[in-house]
Amino acid sequence: MRIVGLTGGIASGKSTVSNLFKAHGVPVVDADIVARDVLKKGTGGWKKVVAAFGEEILQPDGEVDRPKLGQIVFSDPGKRQLLNRLLAPYISSGIFWQIFKLWMKGSKVIILDIPLLFEAKMDKWTKPIIVVWVDPETQLQRLVMRDGSSEEEAQNRINAQMPLEMKRSKADIVIDNTGSLEELNEEFLKVLYEVTRPLTWTEFWLSRQGAVSVLISIAVGVVVCLLHVLLKLQVFVGSPTVLSLAAALPVQTKQVTRKERILL
Ligand SMILES: CC(C)(COP(=O)(O)OP(=O)(O)OC[C@H]1O[C@@H](n2cnc3c(N)ncnc32)[C@H](O)[C@@H]1O)[C@@H](O)C(=O)NCCC(=O)NCCS
Ligand SMILES: Nc1ncnc2c1ncn2[C@@H]1O[C@H](COP(=O)(O)OP(=O)(O)OP(=O)(O)O)[C@@H](O)[C@H]1O
């Protein structure tokens, strides 16, 4: 199985690119969706966060007031680190299960869309790593337009992440999303070709099909060895029971001649 890391800065266009992957039939695990699920009312993550930040971050219906919590953590690095620490175990196990479900379905290539891939040190699990890059002015402008936030709030969110230039330097593939959506689509098609090339042997062994092949090979090996041992036992012990056991195995057996017995 190939787990492709898709990352970048906030509003650099990760979701836009992951939608293109989905449209071409490549499954995507979205870490932002996992992070939302683990903060739903009554979950383990919700309990930890409410205990640490107090009930004033809750809406009247008991769900977390996300914009309010966002304002708190994106203007205070200490509180952001606390939130990250509290949610990290839930987010990583949520991501693991999503990947496992796709593995069970037999998906060979999956995209892990995760803004904090490097910050959360999850880059070692993904190959190749795609970074969606935009220039800083375009990033700020798109973020303000999308979220309707002030420039200051938007800049705080940008500053809360590893600088995009540093992410770019760690990438295997860079998608420059400074241009139009048409230009992005053109660049995307080249990346799609690269990402969906045949699996390497290592990736194949890590896929469900590879694991099944290994299990079948082991089972066949065990049966062959067992048969061999049983036939030998028949030679030395001369037990007809052993021979009938060997005959019951799903491998063709034949009567051992005297000459063959001597060879065995
Ligand atoms: C603070 C929260 C409640 C704000 O929610 P809100 O709906 O306003 O934003 P949303 O979750 O859609 O995130 C939007 C973007 O903000 C950035 N972002 C989110 N959390 C963080 C963080 N802890 N550090 C840096 N950037 C972050 C990401 O680029 C993300 O795509 C929420 O972002 C959150 O729970 N964050 C902590 C969980 C986390 O680390 N999420 C990132 C997924 S790995
Ligand atoms: N090439 C483009 N031209 C114009 N607008 C774009 C382009 N690419 C993305 N956008 C817009 O920029 C905004 C940010 O894009 P997107 O939501 O895909 O970013 P993101 O990296 O997923 O953000 P986040 O980190 O918050 O999840 C969106 O409103 C999107 O429609």
Is any ligand 2 atom within 6 A of the Cβ of residue 172? no
Distance CA 155, CA 132 (A): 18
* Predicted confidence (pLDDT) at residue 255 exceeds the cutoff of 60: no
Q: Which two tokens stand for residue 77?
A: 């690095």
Q: How far is the CA of 204 from the centre of ligand 1 (A)?
A: 33
ipTM of the complex: 0.96
HEC-encoded secondary structure of 137-158: HHHHHHHHHHHCCCHHHHHHHH
Q: Which two tokens stand for residue 218?
A: 């082991």
Q: How far is the CA of 148 from the centre of ligand 1 (A)?
A: 16
Q: How far is the CA of 132 from the centre of ligand 2 (A)?
A: 10
Is any ligand 1 atom within 6 A of the Cβ of residue 91? yes
pLDDT category of residue 232 using cuts at 50, 70 and 90: confident
Ligand nearest to the CA of 11: 2
User: Mind listing the pLDDT tens digit for each residue in 85-115?
Assistant: 999 999 999 999 999 999 999 999 999 999 9
Give mean pLDDT, residues 136-150.
96
Provide the CA 245 distance to its chain's centre, in angstroms.
46
Element (H, E) at 125: none
pLDDT category of residue 45 using cuts at 50, 70 and 90: very high
User: Mind listing the pLDDT tens digit for each residue in 188-197?
Assistant: 999 999 999 9
Asked whether 233 and 239 are in contact (CB, 8 A), the reply is yes
Distance CA 178, CA 165 (A): 14
Q: How far is the CA of 146 from the centre of ligand 2 (A)?
A: 8
Record the pTM.
Answer: 0.87
